[in-house]
Amino acid sequence: MLEVISLLSNILTNPSSPMKELLCEIPFIISNHPDLKYIAEQFEIPFFHFPLVADSGDKSKAKAEQEALIEAAIAKYEVDTLVMARYMQVLSDDFCDKHASHTINIHHSFLPAFEGAKPYHRAKERGVKLIGATAHYATAKLDMGPIIVQDVAPISHRDTVKDMVRKGKDLERVALARALRYHLESRVLVHENRTIVFD
């Protein structure tokens, strides 16, 4: 059985509902916010709160310390796959390079459009007619890793940003679960910055 961890920031999600359908276990959850500890407790999963604390104002040193804590947990639990579910932190190039082949990120946009933060706000401003979610391998280039799964939903001028966020969260759950399933079942081949997915 493969070991999978979740890196979360501050969204409400159920860490074990899609996982019961997948051949994996979640040995722990990491977050840079304490908000979701109750979810880990509900499912009796250890929860590690690793905030990004820059006491001296040195953010790069704080990031290195935070990533060292993540690396120690990964080593201790012999984790095979990392899942970044709205983990709104940019990981260092070294961390990404080391874990690129087994770190899946879910992005709340149909990449390559609207990478980075607040994609629904930018999509609304642009007047798009489709919104999407993209599950991809995380690389040192933000939101530019090999795409595993994408999903879309139609929207109209009547949809508010709040509507788009709600619809997008549904897409994210499905896309992430499919991408993780394909990865765990070794159905994804990566070549350069592209994937071949045997679905």
102 near 81, Cβ under 8 Å? yes
Give the active site residue among 58, 80, 143, 159.
Answer: 143
In angstroms, the CA 111 to CA 134 distance is 6
- Respond yes or no: is residue 97 known to be catalytic: no
- Quickly tell me which residue has 């250890």 as its tokens: 46
Alpha helices in 43-197 (DSSP H): 59-77, 93-99, 119-126, 161-184
25 near 1, Cβ under 8 Å? yes
1 near 23, Cβ under 8 Å? yes
Angle formed at CA 35 by CA 159 and CA 113, multiple of 5 degrees: 35
131 near 152, Cβ under 8 Å? yes
In angstroms, the CA 186 to CA 87 distance is 24
Beta strands in the chain (DSSP E): 2-8, 24-25, 29-31, 47-49, 81-85, 103-107, 130-137, 147-154, 188-191, 194-197
- State the catalytic residues: 143
